[in-house]
Amino acid sequence: MAETMTQKERTLACINWQPHDRVPIYSPIPFDPIAWEKGTLRSWHDSDNYRAVAPLVAEHCTFPGRYQAQGGAFARAFHMVPDHCVEMVSRETTGDRTTRTTVVHTPKGDLQTRMATDRDVTTGWCIEPLVKDKQDVERLLSVPFEPGEIDTDALAADRDAWGERGVVELSISTPLVCSSNIMLFDTFLEWCASDRATVERLIEAACERILIRLEPLLAAGAIECIWLGGSEQATPPMMSRKFYEELVVPYDGRIIEMVKSYGGLVHIHCHGLVNDVLESMMEMGADMTDPVEPPPDGDTSFVEAKERCRGRMVLMGNIELRALEFASRSEIDEMVRRAICDGGKEGMMLYPSATPLTWMSDQCCDNCIQYIESAVKYGEID
């Protein structure tokens, strides 16, 4: 099939409910097209299985670029305290695991957290949370906020360097996640039920900090889209819709309103059971959401979600990473066919629920190839 649009043109046309030649395909593997073009692949990205999938990804997939120049301006790890208050005090490696101990200096005393990463695995684990009790909350919030500066020219350069490969997204964790991430999640859930005032103080502070740092970037015209991630923490089974309406909508809604006022796009990333919150996402003004997982991981079919969201919000889904790891190629072909064809091809992008975090098995490699080949086969829009 001949390509009649660039990846960016196709993606934007889909987001804006305009005619486009085929369903946009998002990569089933973590992929940096610039690194691929330069031949600078590292770790397990330089493996045979990764290299078997990469050429198809480069040819057929659209890429959600990231603004490298944003640095840690919106990092959730330390509730966006100024960089000069954060000090990594030790780094210890035992076998394949590296543990980093970081101290946050506050006017009311130091806070400590420890994070671990494993070699060739692109994720991390919290070994010791930053906030352990209510006194730690007071210590953290005693740090005066500093807006800092982000080089808007560098952001624009990131966007321009991405070119027609896809839409570049500024990654921001929802204020709720900026707050839950600094403590054990069970502690956060307990406080949501027993001490809402403390939770709301943290979420409000995170929201205000995001808005202060974000507006100059939007005003300078450097940002075309934001990725707002993590609100699944306020969906079932962790929380009811009531909590989503109270702890997500008022805060994410303000961020989305600001982005839309400057003509930007909003991509909400929300795993899990989203049936009860799709309407809230649309009312806030989201342009698209992923991954709209099928049951049992989700609670709505792609066909039903397409019907509900038609003309209002683009759906990105709904192929599970578990399927890419364990299904047969024929099963992947059928999953892709149904995701694309059932309920209409407009207003959707083919999207995996996640991508591999480490070395790919032969089966995962074969299924990622099948995912792309099937998407090309079924995705043309008449």
Tens digit of each residue's pLDDT (9 = 90 or more) over 28-46: 999 999 889 999 999 999 9
E-only strand ranges, 26-167: 65-66, 86-94, 97-104, 111-118, 124-128
Contact 280, 312 (CB under 8 A): no
> What pLDDT, on the 0 to 100 scale, is given for residue 382?
87
Q: What is the pLDDT of residue 300?
A: 95
Rounded percentage of the chain residues whose pLDDT exceeds 90: 91
Q: Is residue 181 predicted with pLDDT exceeding 80?
A: yes
In whole angstroms, what is the distance from residue 364 CA to residue 358 CA?
A: 11
**Using CA atoms in the order 178, 322, 13, 231, what is the torsion angle rounded to 10 degrees?**
-20
Residue whose pair of structure tokens reads 């940002």 in the numeric block:
223
Please compute the mean of the pLDDT values over residues 8-12 and round it to a whole number.
97
Q: What's the token pair of residue 185?
A: 């999640």
Cα–Cα separations (whole angstroms), residue 360 to 55, 168, 229, 357, 363:
16, 26, 25, 8, 8
Taking only the tens place, the pLDDT of each residue in 141-165 is 999 999 988 889 998 898 898 999 9
User: Per-residue pLDDT averaged across 286-294, rounded?
Assistant: 97
Q: What is the pLDDT of residue 328?
A: 98
Cα(95)–Cα(116) distance, integer angstroms = 12
Between CA 270 and CA 276 the distance in angstroms is 12
Per-residue pLDDT at 109 exceeds 90: yes
Rounded to an integer, what distance in angstroms lies between the CA atom of residue 314 and that of residue 267?
9
- Could you give the angle at the alpha carbon of 79 between the alpha carbons of 161 and 200, nearest 5°? 125
> 140: which residues sit within 8 A by CB, 6+ positions away?
79, 81, 104, 106, 111, 130, 131, 182
| SS3 label, residue 346 | coil
pLDDT-based confidence at residue 247 (cuts at 50, 70, 90) = very high
Walk across the sheet containing 124-128 and list its strands.
86-94, 97-104, 111-118, 124-128
The pairing of strands 265-270 and 225-229 is parallel
- Range 9-18 average pLDDT: 97
Q: Which two tokens stand for residue 126?
A: 């919290």
Task: Determine contact, residues 287/269, Cβ cutoff 8 Å.
Answer: no
pLDDT, the chain, mean: 95
* Least confident window among 47-51, 157-161, 194-198, 357-361: 157-161
pLDDT for res 149: 86
Q: What is the pLDDT of residues 260-282, one digit of tens each?
A: 999 999 999 999 999 999 999 99
What does the block give as tokens for 330? 């024929």
pLDDT in tens, 220-231: 998 999 999 999
Can you read off the two tokens belonging to residue 5? 């649009």
Task: Enumerate residues 6+ apart whose C-beta is below 8 A from 330.
Answer: none
Residue of higher predicted confidence among 76 and 207 = 207
Q: In the chain, what are the domains?
A: 7-80+146-378 (3.20.20.210), 81-144 (no CATH)
Q: What percent of the chain shows pLDDT beyond 70? A: 99
Q: Helices marked H in 195-319 — which ranges?
A: 196-219, 241-247, 249-261, 278-284, 302-309
100 in Cβ contact with 90 (< 8 Å)? yes
Q: What is the residue type of 26?
A: Y
| 1 has pLDDT over 50 | no
Residue 54 has pLDDT above 50, yes or no: yes
CA distance linking residue 87 with residue 90, whole number of Å: 9
CB 283, CB 236: distance < 8 Å: no
- What pLDDT, on a 0 to 100 scale, did the predictor assign at position 139? 98
Which of the four pLDDT bands, split at 50, 70 and 90, describes residue 3?
low
Please tell me the predicted confidence (pLDDT) of residue 321: 97
Residue 184 has pLDDT above 70, yes or no: yes
- Predicted pLDDT of residue 67: 85
β pairing state of 111-118 and 97-104: antiparallel
Q: How much is the pLDDT for 11?
A: 97
pTM value is 0.96
Query: Do residues 30 and 324 lie in contact, with contact meaning Cβ atoms separated by under 8 Å?
Result: no
> Is pLDDT above 60 for 2?
no
